[in-house]
Chains A and B, each alone.
Chain A
Amino acid sequence: MALTALEIYKNLPKTNCKECGFPTCLAFAMQIAQKKVELGKCPHVSEAGKAALEGASAPPIRLVTIGAGGKKLQIGQETVLFRHEETFHHPAGLAIEVSDALGDAELDAAIREVDALQFERVGTTIEIDLLALRHESGDPARFRQAAEKAKAGCRYPLVLMSEDPEALAQALEATKDDKPLVYAATHDNYEKVAALAKAAACPLAVRAEGPEELADLTQKVAALGVQDLVLDPGSASLAKGLADHTTIRRAALRKTYRALGYPTIAFAASGDPYQETAEAATYMAKYAGIVVMKGRERWQIMPVLTARYNIYTDPQKPIQVQPGVYAIGDVTPNSPVLLTTNFSLTYYTVAGDVENSRVPSYIVVADTEGTSVLTAYASEKLTADRVAAMLTEDGGIKDKVSHKKIIIPGLIAVMTAKLKDNSGWDVVVGPKESAGIPKLLRAWSA
């Protein structure tokens, strides 16, 4: 919750001593409110004032970091219930569960498969975030050994899943520098497990049945000095999970209820691979900070990662594809060339219609800063000069085709003459609606 300057001012010494570098306490308060200076600049603020200000200015959902080095996952610090209100900030982590009860060969294979869960999408890599190692062997030494294997064989940080403090202690000894998520403190073991997480300085998951019991337990765990918590409401079904995760997010944001002010973890574990995929996608949309799946088939993981990518896209920014030349189908030097903009919806529509035509073609995607054809033209981001530059650029489209004919969107037909003069290409005015592209391309090839 952002504080106003006056609310901050009430907690300052009001002596106008200027030691903070500002003429008055009120001026200082205004600077804090705008997040331009830190409260620490005031040498005289009382402990009570400090506590009041820090407590009130802390984000309603804590930011928790799992892992160290290159593949860190940061979750939490969300500010809204609906993405259109602002945006969702920290994409939920996808964890893949692996059991330590597997034989060595199976375990190694599982770790390798999890390590390879990356996918390419129009210029972006999407990938999973965590390997969740579940202690099912009953043997703490095996859990440690499996954790060592996972640490060595998988690029992603770990979730160490066990309720046995001894097993967690052993696995943490081997992996604590990588800051795994310790899962989980429960009503039965929380004193020991919280002590382990605290000593290892690792984030800790807390599990209890339902938001009420969770609130109770997180307060006990926080009182033991562990602050980086992840909440598991232990939901027995998807319907319950949807309710639990919604309740936690609303309590944290709408009521600034600190005992539930942490990111959450959800399990997609129905056993049926399609239901598991659907459950995981549901939790991506509805409020989990981490989603754990057991299945790791690539056809299951790709849609879940894509759902996350879409849901966490910032609705305030137009989504763009990388400008450049894209080949659709088995293109040849005689293939038609079409022009469009790099607003993702525009590009996807055009690319889809070109694919539907089954006529292999090139699409030249102009950098219009993510605006659609008419908007780009009106704001001079799609001009004859810019398009001509793309057509005549060395290494660009002119080196890929043996003809000089460009199909432009019907909405910018007015550019035809100038584009022809500036580029030396013949300009064909295409349809105003992308849906007309297949007809044009089929006639072209006929």
Chain B
Amino acid sequence: MPIPDIKEKWGSKINTVTIGAEGKRPVQVGGEDSLPFLHFEGATPNQPVIAMDVLDVEPVEWPEALSALFGAALKSPADWAKQCVEEFGADMICLKLQSIHPDFGDATPQQAAAVVEAVAKAAPVPLIVWGCDDDAKDNAALPAVSQVLKGQRALIGTAKQDNYKTLTACCIADGHNVMCESPLDINIAKQVNILVSDMGFPPERIVIFPTTGALGYGIEYAYSIQERGRLAALGGDTMMAMPVLCMVGKEAWSAKESKAPDAEVPEWGPQAERGPAWEATTATVLLQAGADILVMRHPKAVAATRKYIGTLVG
């Protein structure tokens, strides 16, 4: 028997953002005109993509179960990036400039730009470049980074409510996309988008980073903020209509459930499966709240999430 029509008639859609230059496997994200993966209601023209983390210093906090999979490549950002693309199928590389932080090496802008250039040369995919979250150092280094990537249409972050001008100006000049960060607060998320747009930056080159929580550690906040943001965007709020990026791997691998070695928590099952399952489930839940770019770490979690996206996109 016929049942009531429950299709929502959304008037708007998410912006389509292009990351990466021609010849570097550019990716398009966004463009949805319905809630995630509801084919009866709308299209998912660009399926969510997976970027993999690369740090410009060898990670000291990664558990052995994770770092062992990358081996010596962890010592060289360029080798590491290449490995992520060639062996693990990363759609993009997310390069974190940890070394420019005063506590982690205090590298100069020139050194940062050199690392970025090496990684861009080694990896045949688009780049996401992430500062060190020290505003002064970021404002010194990111202009050099932006310049060395000129024309490559990278995604650079982050622009924050109280520190967005330098990055936005560079990205206008060099043709990049900007990642706007907010601390799990939907009003600030919108505010940063407005501030950056008001500088004359095109909204269709903005990606929202609403801050991510891992499964078991605040994911419900991220989930509802992303869901609210998506509903607002589909309802016509153009200052929320940007694709969303989630730091899945960084958060999931901070959780005890993925980090603890087998000897410590035998009742949780083997870390070789437990860790990637924790990361993949974090990704799953965030995809259901409208994530467009997932930044991940464990190759097994990446593969599982890619397959999951495939079954939903069809």
* Given A212-B1, A259-B3, A310-B220, residue A303 in contact with residue B38 (CB < 8 A): no
Judging by beta carbons under 8 Å apart, are B285 and A299 in contact? no
Judging by beta carbons under 8 Å apart, are A315 and B224 in contact? yes
Which one of B278, B288, B305 lies within 8 Å of A286 (CB-CB)? B288
- Is B215 an interface residue when CB atoms closer than 8 A count as contact? yes
Judging by beta carbons under 8 Å apart, are B311 and A260 in contact? no
CA distance A272 to B303 in the complex (A): 12
Task: Kindly report which residue of chain A lies nearest to residue B267, judged by CB atoms.
Answer: A298
- State the A residues within 8 Å of B (CB): 82-84, 119, 121, 211-212, 215-216, 237-239, 242-243, 246-247, 250-251, 254-255, 257, 259-260, 270, 272-275, 277-278, 281-282, 285-286, 297-300, 302-304, 306-307, 309-311, 313, 315, 319, 344-345, 348, 352, 355-356, 435, 439
- Is B151 an interface residue when CB atoms closer than 8 A count as contact? no
Nearest CB of A to B59, in Å: 11
User: Which residues of chain A come closer than 8 Å to B3, judged between CB atoms?
Assistant: 211-212, 215, 247, 251, 257, 259-260
Given contacts A239-B314, A281-B285, A298-B269, 11 further A-B contacts (CB under 8 A): A83-B227, A239-B311, A239-B313, A242-B38, A251-B4, A254-B6, A257-B4, A275-B308, A281-B284, A297-B269, A307-B281
B interface majority secondary structure: helix
Which one of B1, B133, B277, B307 lies within 8 Å of A303 (CB-CB)? B277
User: Which residues of chain A come closer than 8 Å to B231, judged between CB atoms?
Assistant: 82
CA distance A246 to B312 in the complex (A): 14
Nearest CB of A to B212, in Å: 12
Most chain B Cβ neighbours within 10 Å, of A119, A270, A302, A304: A302
Interface residues of B in 276-305 (CB under 8 A from A): 276-278, 280-281, 284-285, 288-289, 300, 304-305
Nearest CB of B to A75, in Å: 19
Which one of B6, B133, B227, B268 lies within 8 Å of A299 (CB-CB)? B268
Judging by beta carbons under 8 Å apart, are A282 and B284 in contact? yes
Judging by beta carbons under 8 Å apart, are B221 and A275 in contact? no
Interface residues of B in 188-224 (CB under 8 A from A): 213, 215-221, 223-224
Judging by beta carbons under 8 Å apart, are A307 and B285 in contact? yes
User: Which residues of chain B come closer than 8 Å to A297, judged between CB atoms?
Assistant: 269, 273
User: Which residues of chain A come closer than 8 Å to B257, judged between CB atoms?
Assistant: 302-303, 306
Nearest CB of A to B281, in Å: 4
CA distance A299 to B3 in the complex (A): 40
Judging by beta carbons under 8 Å apart, are B308 and A212 in contact? no
Which one of A82, A300, A356 lies within 8 Å of B277 (CB-CB)? A300
Task: Kindly report which residue of chain B lies nearest to residue A256, judged by CB atoms.
Answer: B4
User: Which residues of chain A come closer than 8 Å to B288, judged between CB atoms?
Assistant: 282, 285-286
User: Which residues of chain B come closer than 8 Å to A311, judged between CB atoms?
Assistant: 220, 223, 285
CA distance A274 to B277 in the complex (A): 7
- Is B9 an interface residue when CB atoms closer than 8 A count as contact? no
Judging by beta carbons under 8 Å apart, are A348 and B223 in contact? no
Nearest CB of A to B171, in Å: 25
13 A-B interface contacts by CB (under 8 A): A211-B3, A239-B312, A239-B313, A242-B312, A255-B4, A274-B304, A286-B288, A297-B273, A299-B274, A306-B257, A307-B281, A310-B220, A315-B220
Q: Report B49-62 CB contacts with A as 1/0, cut-off 8 Å.
A: 00000000000010
Judging by beta carbons under 8 Å apart, are A255 and B227 in contact? no
Judging by beta carbons under 8 Å apart, are A215 and B221 in contact? no
CA distance A273 to B4 in the complex (A): 36
Closest 3 CB pairs of A and B: A299-B269, A274-B304, A303-B281
Nearest CB of B to A429, in Å: 18
User: Which residues of chain B come closer than 8 Å to A216, judged between CB atoms?
Assistant: 1
Judging by beta carbons under 8 Å apart, are A348 and B218 in contact? yes
Which one of B219, B224, B311, B313 lies within 8 Å of A84 (CB-CB)? B224
- Is B76 an interface residue when CB atoms closer than 8 A count as contact? no
Count how many chain B residues have C-beta atoms less than 8 Å from C-beta atoms of the other chain: 53
* Given A285-B288, A286-B288, residue A84 in contact with residue B228 (CB < 8 A): yes
- Is B11 an interface residue when CB atoms closer than 8 A count as contact? no
Task: Kindly report which residue of chain A lies nearest to residue B37, judged by CB atoms.
Answer: A242
CA distance A298 to B308 in the complex (A): 21
Judging by beta carbons under 8 Å apart, are B39 and A281 in contact? no
CA distance A251 to B39 in the complex (A): 17
Task: Kindly report which residue of chain A lies nearest to residue B215, judged by CB atoms.
Answer: A306
Judging by beta carbons under 8 Å apart, are A313 and B220 in contact? yes
CA distance A344 to B218 in the complex (A): 8
Task: Kindly report which residue of chain B lies nearest to residue A313, judged by CB atoms.
Answer: B220
User: Which residues of chain B come closer than 8 Å to A313, judged between CB atoms?
Assistant: 220
User: Which residues of chain B come closer than 8 Å to A275, judged between CB atoms?
Assistant: 304, 307-308, 311
Which one of B133, B269, B270 lies within 8 Å of A302 (CB-CB)? B269
Task: Kindly report which residue of chain A lies nearest to residue B312, judged by CB atoms.
Answer: A239
Judging by beta carbons under 8 Å apart, are A302 and B4 in contact? no
CA distance A82 to B217 in the complex (A): 20
Most chain A Cβ neighbours within 10 Å, of B218, B269, B277, B311: B277
Most chain B Cβ neighbours within 10 Å, of A215, A250, A251, A303: A303
CA distance A175 to B219 in the complex (A): 39
Which one of B216, B273, B280 lies within 8 Å of A278 (CB-CB)? B280
Task: Kindly report which residue of chain B lies nearest to residue A247, judged by CB atoms.
Answer: B6
Nearest CB of B to A1, in Å: 15
User: Which residues of chain A come closer than 8 Å to B216, judged between CB atoms?
Assistant: 121, 306, 309-310
- Is B238 an interface residue when CB atoms closer than 8 A count as contact? no
Judging by beta carbons under 8 Å apart, are A238 and B278 in contact? no
Judging by beta carbons under 8 Å apart, are B103 and A439 in contact? yes
CA distance A439 to B276 in the complex (A): 29
CA distance A299 to B65 in the complex (A): 15
User: Which residues of chain B come closer than 8 Å to A82, judged between CB atoms?
Assistant: 224, 227-228, 231
* Given A119-B268, A215-B1, A302-B269, residue A238 in contact with residue B312 (CB < 8 A): yes
Task: Kindly report which residue of chain B lies nearest to residue A243, judged by CB atoms.
Answer: B40
Nearest CB of B to A317, in Å: 11
User: Which residues of chain A come closer than 8 Å to B308, judged between CB atoms?
Assistant: 274-275, 278
